[in-house]
Structure 1
Amino acid sequence: MSSDPILSVERIDVFYGASKILFGVDIAVGHGRTLALLGRNGAGKSTTLKAIAGLAPPKQGRVVLRGQDMAGSKPYVIARAGIGYVPEDRQVFPEHSVEDNLLIGAKRGRDSEGFWTLGQMYEVFPILAGMRDRRAGALSGGEQQMLTIARTLMGNPEVLLLDEPSEGLAPIIVQAIGDLIRKLRSMGVTILLAEQNMHFCLGISEDAVVIDKGSVVFSGAIQELRENHEVTRRYLAI
């Protein structure tokens, strides 16, 4: 992984009420790289992303973006600082059109940068261009996933958090989501991807962290994980 990460999670502990969910989790995401956060259901993947996004603030530890500790900041402050979060359950605005959903998410990035515009979005997501006037609630699950990713990118984030983007989708849609992530990676987008499907991540991620019962049990290159049969057998049930 990069020795100079744009985003680092440093020894965070997270509680839901009296229950401790994360135990000293460490993650570092290099600029322009794609890191897969892998683990079984309930391992703590989604909680880690929520902690970064400010939705489950850590009780201890740091969440550092470009050298600034964001742990404990409000979610809107973290979003404005450059973290874009795509939740597991998509959360489109169902009564609004596709284009309205995109415009709702639009904002300039840090230092008033604005790479992602409607025109740029429709080039990268041609499927959305053809349904820009369609009500978002009428889209399929895969189309809604595409829309949610595009809406988040309209906020011009520096780091994109994707929570289980392949979950519950047909194989052909999963392949399309994978192709999209590869395209974003080739464009230099920094991505932290929470997934339980290692095979989905093999062709789209460069780095990997495996989490189990709220603790990191592996951190390294995705190829190292592919070759580590003990870790994949024990923690990913492969």
Structure 2
Amino acid sequence: MSAQPVVQVQDLDVYYGTSQILFGVGLSVRQGETMALLGRNGAGKSTTMKAIMGLAPARRGTVTLQGRVVSGLKPHHIARAGLGFVPEDRQIFPEHTVEDNLVIGTKKGPNGEDEWPIRRIYDVFPLLEPLRHRIAGRLSGGEQQMLAIARTLMGNPALLLLDEPSEGLAPIIVQRIGELLRQLRGTGATVLIAEQNMHFCLGLASHATVIDKGQIVYTSGIEELKANENIRQRYLAL
């Protein structure tokens, strides 16, 4: 019997002013999956993530988190319900230390559980531990990205949303972030990654959904996407 979706997105329409950006978007992510939401620049990836998080209100459609409809709630209420969002600009606290950033993000799970104590964070993100007393604004871009992901995990989210985690990073740092996300997948975390960089996701996602011009055009396991050259060339080739 398949696991129930942690998040179920159905028929989302999103507008910016009078311009429609998303057209009936639907996707689901099940417990323990790492889903890659792939598409070219401007395809609607970030808008989908913001709509799930309540930052881009939908005119139509629903977002259900662990069986509870959260669409229409304020973003901070959606966060409390179990969504952890790492935006493209990371939004760390640059004037605080690495460890202060982590502690600020601490929140117990809905049943009082603490899946991500700081010791476990340092085990999964070992590069952060020797930096724990460093001011976050002095970190490199890759270190800040690791910190943003780790801080969000400290909130014990049911689902982790990552918006373009490889954007603007050097290739060697992208590789390192990918290794960390593969390790994160091994912990059983449930993750939705919005990415333009298909190759970054192929080695770490379990499933993929492709968006183009604001519409979902393809969903499959990651191995099926690897084998589908037509989809890759039509919607993902740069």
**TM range, smaller chain:** over 0.9
Distance in 2 (CA, whole Å) between partners of 1:124 and 1:62 is 34
Could you say which residue in structure 2 is the equivalent of 1:232? 232
**Any gaps of 5 or more consecutive residues in structure 1?**
none
The change in CA–CA distance for 1:6 and 1:15 in structure 2 (over 3 A counts) is same
Query: What amino acid maps onto 1:133 in structure 2?
Result: H
Deviations 1:180-209 (A, max 9, x none): 111111100000000011111111011100
Query: What amino acid maps onto 2:196 in structure 1?
Result: Q
How far apart are residue 66 of structure 1 and its match? 1.1
**Within-5 A mapping of 1:1-238:** 4-237=4-237
How far apart are residue 107 of structure 1 and its match? 0.7
How far apart are residue 119 of structure 1 and its match? 1.5
Distance in 2 (CA, whole Å) between partners of 1:3 and 1:113 is 21
**Residue aligned with 1:193, SS:** strand
**Residue aligned with 2:167, SS:** coil
**Residue aligned with 1:110, SS:** coil
Distance in 2 (CA, whole Å) between partners of 1:114 and 1:80 is 14
Distance in 2 (CA, whole Å) between partners of 1:3 and 1:22 is 27
Distance in 1 (CA, whole Å) between partners of 2:109 and 2:142 is 27
Distance in 2 (CA, whole Å) between partners of 1:136 and 1:28 is 34
Of the structure 1 ranges 221-230 and 208-217, higher mean CA displacement relative to structure 2 is found in 221-230
**Residue aligned with 1:152, SS:** helix
Distance in 1 (CA, whole Å) between partners of 2:140 and 2:66 is 36
Distance in 1 (CA, whole Å) between partners of 2:102 and 2:225 is 36
Q: Percent identity?
A: 62
Distance in 2 (CA, whole Å) between partners of 1:91 and 1:64 is 25
**Residue aligned with 1:111, SS:** coil
Distance in 2 (CA, whole Å) between partners of 1:59 and 1:109 is 30
Is the Cα contact below 8 Å between 2:29 and 2:35 reproduced in 1?
yes
**Residue aligned with 1:59, SS:** strand
Is the Cα contact below 8 Å between 2:37 and 2:193 reproduced in 1?
yes
How far apart are residue 144 of structure 1 and its match? 0.2
Count residues in correspondence. 237
How far apart are residue 3 of structure 1 and its match? 6.0
**Any gaps of 5 or more consecutive residues in structure 2?**
none
**Residue aligned with 2:230, SS:** helix
Distance in 2 (CA, whole Å) between partners of 1:29 and 1:118 is 26
RMSD over aligned Cα atoms: 1.0
